[in-house]
Structure 1
Amino acid sequence: MTDNTSTASEEAVQNATLQKAVIVGMQPGQPARVIEEAARFARLFRVPLVVAHVDVTRFVTYEDPDGYVHSAPIDINFDAGTAEFEAVQSEAAAALDGTGLTWTARQLVGDPALAIKQLANKLDAQLIVVGTRKRGIGESIREFFTGSVAARLAHRQHRSVLVVPLQEPVPDEQPEIWTE
């Protein structure tokens, strides 16, 4: 089940049904292991799963008193975030259909750690699940400037954060983690 809420009242009603959910942060093309782990915990806790995709090409302009977020694009390519969200919804459906798990997908905007934190607060989430970043020089540079989403979540809110490895572990005898 997916839902891209469009109004503040619809979102408030849906938030009431999603209380105590497990939230999983997803990006298109992310290994299925991340959503599978999140689904496992949602089943263990007997709560819904919320698949969250953060559109970093948009930013929050203001938030209504009832929590509805208004956003604006950073650049004129309006379709980038929409296409990514549709890909995330499709990947989530492929991974979750037939599991019997109640789930929904949410498109968030802005800084990933802050957006997921805000959603977790609205839903009083049980757990936040994210994947590790890919290894490589490009990702190292990005993380240098923006920081690790998992680390920022762990230090900026009180919920448990499960970090799922995306790649094979680096061997203990390898001195450098990011060799590229």
Structure 2
Amino acid sequence: MTDTPPRRLHAMNVMTGPVLAGVAPKQQSVVVEHAAAFAAAAQLPLVCAFVDVTVYPLDGTTGGPMAPIDPDGVEGDAGLIPASLEASIGAQLAGSGVDWSLVALAGEPAHALARHAGEIGASLMVVGSREHKLGSTLRELTGGSVARQLLHRQDRPVLVVPVDPRVPDEL
């Protein structure tokens, strides 16, 4: 028998770190809605994180300097949060009373989110499930979904919000 180190417990009554939500342009609003609801209920700040897969972190941290994977293909906005995403989240959370922020991360989404969750001491991670589209299916087959990767690699709770549920009429 091998000894395994004890896992950190993140019970609802001891949640002290922010709620971390993975966000993306054109993402269903239900992900931010659920993340904000948890943050409000626990009286915690909400950190929305956009992961740019076209750049990588130079020093291995999530908030540090970034460099483009393909410097020839960069049009000057790599590593920046799309203005439409910031405006959308701002409009969605206006008047909610939730203290929120938006950060840009770099690299592979599951790794970047997990790394940032550790850095900020997140109490909970919120991500959307994959959408039922051909591109999403191909990405899942090759690398797995972000939600699945987080579920298997995290020691903190991960809430996966269905963004395109396909519930059969008969259960």
TM-score (norm 1): 0.78
CA distance in structure 1 between the partners assigned to 2:166 and 2:137 by the alignment: 17
Moved more, 139-148 or 20-29: 139-148
Matched, 1:72 2:70: no
Q: Which of the residues 125, 129, 143 maps onto 2:126? A: 129
Q: Which of the residues 130, 146, 150 maps onto 1:149? A: 146
Contact 1:71 1:109 in 2 (8 A): yes
User: How big is each residue's C-alpha offset from its partner over 1:54-113, in whole Å with a ceiling of 9 and x where there is no partner?
Assistant: 00000122247xx7522210223232553x532221111011011111000000000101
CA distance in structure 2 between the partners assigned to 1:68 and 1:22 by the alignment: 17
Matched, 1:20 2:17: yes
Amino acid paired to 2:108: D
Amino acid paired to 1:160: P
- How many residues matched? 153
CA distance in structure 1 between the partners assigned to 2:85 and 2:49 by the alignment: 9
1:29 maps to 26
CA distance in structure 1 between the partners assigned to 2:20 and 2:32 by the alignment: 10
1:50 offset after TM fit, Å?
A: 0.3
Amino acid paired to 1:72: A
1:110 maps to 107
State the identity %: 41
1:154 aligned counterpart, secondary structure = helix
Matched, 1:87 2:84: yes
1:79 aligned counterpart, secondary structure = coil
2:13 maps to none
Amino acid paired to 1:71: M
CA distance in structure 1 between the partners assigned to 2:164 and 2:139 by the alignment: 18
Matched, 1:158 2:155: yes
2:91 aligned counterpart, secondary structure = helix
1:107 aligned counterpart, secondary structure = strand
CA distance in structure 2 between the partners assigned to 1:37 and 1:151 by the alignment: 18
Structure 2 unaligned blocks of 5 or more: 1-15
1:59 maps to 56
CA distance in structure 2 between the partners assigned to 1:90 and 1:103 by the alignment: 13
Contact 1:85 1:107 in 2 (8 A): no
Amino acid paired to 1:169: R
CA distance in structure 2 between the partners assigned to 1:132 and 1:28 by the alignment: 15
2:37 maps to 40
- The root-mean-square deviation of aligned C-alpha atoms, in Å, is 2.0
